[in-house]
Structure 1
């Protein structure tokens, strides 16, 4: 394959920058676009383990990941009355061993974006149309420009808008597994110090921890529900659904929900 082909990568999350790194490493010249005005750093903590650990080392970012790793020294499972049911040391609490490491999604994206700082990346930009031709792909952008590329790579997530432009609805299907995860940050009102607390009951789980920034607590909420949001991008609907689902959960949940940003 010619190294002079034009490649467009859509989405500056984790997959997009990682793809750009490897394309550049093998001699290609990709372009990265992101529809947001800046890097979106929200999201949950991620485990770098198995083959991902080897890839991070090969990319030369493993040590940086370790420097930014989460640092939970103690993990506790509690009941809705706050009684301690189980306690483990941090890495064992997260089922990590050897060279496995946990890092916040936003910190990992920062590391990846710094690794590809020499690759063009355009924010506030997304595609609104795409046509496959015999020798190239014609891409229409939201700013009115039109460009031809040899390859277009959609790395814009599970709810990819690019996917709906490229494939007919009968060519792909999103299956609702009835499982939700909500992550956000609040003030560290419990004064947790490198500690994580988890409370689980009736297929619902609430966790709160604080590690490297003593002023901030990271919240993770997981639950099962067959309810489907009318608009998956409506933050008000998301928050209302979350509050309705956990209104009667107990423990610290109401204090946490009262602090939802």
Structure 2
């Protein structure tokens, strides 16, 4: 059918793109429904910057001030060597290459603000799609709990490892381009007593950073390293943790202590740097 009779829209994935899509769809008079495979919104995650065209968008959504109020408030950045000696220090904004109205915010804080902006849009957790069938009139979607529902449009906003992409497109219609690096993030107690500061240590194509901002009790740690096909199963958390230990055990600096603390972290997240290349839809 044409766009004029499209109303009921399924959006898959409650990350950043999904809720943002729901906001605009509803604002233009559509009826979006949001589903998320996890049991709840993922907490933590890395910090990200709202900059460029995104600033105009969040202002038009009326959430720039909220984002600004929940920003990381990083004041200092410091580079150290593997012995812990300071190599270089600079102001937080410069350290993060931010200028003007650019704002840095933790991923989960941004997701929360976006979810708040779509209050009233149906949101179902623990829900994924099993199959999608296109008929002349509607899209027939079967969910993992067995029920089937009809939608006028389905939007996959379920990220790098998208179920929607896997179900809807043939293997030859897209490519996952491994960029040859991995990253892991999780939080630990702020045992270094960092105060609105990020400290980074880089050696042998490996990087470890520790940041503590608004929440003084905790610190966010991020590991990244180069490598290709390091994991047999990219999605297996115990393997991710094991590879991280093996890779950083001799790194020096605070790595041994942080790897010990990793066992107690409940917000561990890891993935590869990957670029999705899709055939254009024209």
Q: Normalized against structure 2, the TM-score is what?
A: 0.90
Partner of 1:235: 237
Residues 28-59 of structure 1, C-alpha deviation per residue, up to 9 Å, x if partnerless?
11110011111112310000111111111111
Partner of 1:161: 163
Partner of 2:254: 252
Partner of 1:103: 105
Partner of 1:48: 50
Shift of 1:3: 6.0
Shift of 1:171: 1.4
| Counterparts of residues 117-156 of structure 1 (less than 5 Å) | 117-156=119-158
Contact 2:6 2:152 in 1 (8 A): no
Q: Distance in 2 between matches of 1:186 and 1:244?
A: 19
> Out of 219, 222, 231, which is 1:220 matched to?
222
Structure 2 alignment gaps of length 5 or more: 266-282
Contact 2:207 2:225 in 1 (8 A): yes
Structure 1 stretches of 4+ with a deviation exceeding 6 A read: none
Q: Distance in 2 between matches of 1:4 and 1:237?
A: 44
Partner of 1:193: 195
Shift of 1:232: 2.0
Q: Distance in 1 between matches of 2:210 and 2:192?
A: 9
Contact 1:183 1:219 in 2 (8 A): yes
Partner of 1:84: 86
Q: Distance in 2 between matches of 1:109 and 1:64?
A: 12
SS at match of 1:82: coil
For the pair 1:116 / 2:118, whether they are aligned, the reply is yes
Contact 1:3 1:28 in 2 (8 A): no
SS at match of 2:208: strand
> Out of 167, 182, 185, which is 2:184 matched to?
182
Contact 2:6 2:153 in 1 (8 A): no
Residues 64-108 of structure 1, C-alpha deviation per residue, up to 9 Å, x if partnerless?
001100011111001111111110011111111110010000000
What count of residue pairs does the alignment treat as equivalent? 261
Q: Normalized against structure 1, the TM-score is what?
A: 0.97
Contact 1:79 1:199 in 2 (8 A): yes
Q: Distance in 1 between matches of 2:148 and 2:224?
A: 42
Q: Distance in 2 between matches of 1:226 and 1:247?
A: 19
